[in-house]
Chain A
Amino acid sequence: QEQLVQSGAGVMQPGASVKVSCKASGFTLTKYYMHWVRQAPGQGLEWMGIINPSSGGASYAQKFQGRITMTRDTSANTVYMELRSLSSEDTASYYCAGSYVYAFDIWGQGTPVTVSS
């Protein structure tokens, strides 16, 4: 059974960084392009960016350019998303999702991140 298993919830200080992991289970990470999507409490979904696990190449939404980095470790079958300079507006659940082509075929369970002092 294919699954994406994400790291646990976290509480971060304003100005800090967070790194969320997403491990593929039941399939090889390189099967999908991997994305990160976030959802603030009571709000809609927001696409953050994409990484090609085969090459490691990434592309980010303009809104996050300069403070986001997506990486992968193929030996660990895991992708990571690091977001820096956190503010309260970054409080959200962060999802990884895999797309075979254009749609998000598989989703992780989500990682709640709270930014608070």
Chain B
Amino acid sequence: QSALTQPRSVSGSPGQSVTISCSGTSSDIGAYDHVSWYQQHPGKAPELMISDVNRRRPGVPNRFSGSKSGNTASLTISGLQAEDEGDYYCCSYAGSYIRIFGTGTKVTVL
């Protein structure tokens, strides 16, 4: 299976909103409501932000939200803050225990 497709980078000023897309196929994102999103800071392990398309992990600010339409999932950060800078990865269940990650998106706060 090929990696899910994400934009290489997105940027925004503090307080603005940014949306990261995650494009897959009818065999992964389109088939299951099991898309999760991870934030990774340099030199650190990834951290779960959202599971099952739109379920925020306890403790994750509500400015983070997830959605899905067809074969594409999205992560929106509303009210961008400096600490939101980092790399973001989507991941989808693809059946038979398989997980597929996205290519990753670097978020820059201007």
Please give, as numbers and ranges, the residues of chain A lying within 8 Å of B98 by CB-CB distance.
Answer: 47, 59, 61
Would you call A47 and B48 a contact (CB within 8 A)?
Answer: no
Please give, as numbers and ranges, the residues of chain A lying within 8 Å of B38 by CB-CB distance.
Answer: 45, 104
Bound-complex Cα distance A46 to B103 (A): 9
Determine, out of A10-18, A24-32, A79-87, A107-115, the stretch whose residues face the partner at the interface.
Answer: A107-115
Q: Is B100 part of the contact surface with A, judged by Cβ < 8 Å?
A: yes
Q: A44-B3, A44-B89, A103-B36 are in contact. Are A110 and B97 (CB under 8 A)?
A: no
Please give, as numbers and ranges, the residues of chain A lying within 8 Å of B100 by CB-CB distance.
Answer: 47
Bound-complex Cα distance A105 to B45 (A): 12
Bound-complex Cα distance A46 to B98 (A): 11
Please give, as numbers and ranges, the residues of chain B lying within 8 Å of A37 by CB-CB distance.
Answer: 101
A-B contact pairs, 30 of them (CB 8 A): A35-B99, A37-B101, A44-B3, A44-B89, A44-B101, A44-B104, A45-B89, A45-B91, A45-B104, A46-B101, A47-B91, A47-B98, A47-B99, A47-B100, A47-B101, A50-B99, A95-B45, A102-B34, A102-B36, A102-B93, A103-B34, A103-B51, A103-B52, A103-B91, A104-B36, A104-B38, A104-B91, A105-B57, A107-B45, A107-B46
With A44-B101, A45-B91, A102-B52 given, name 4 new contacts (CB 8 A). A104-B48, A105-B48, A105-B51, A108-B45
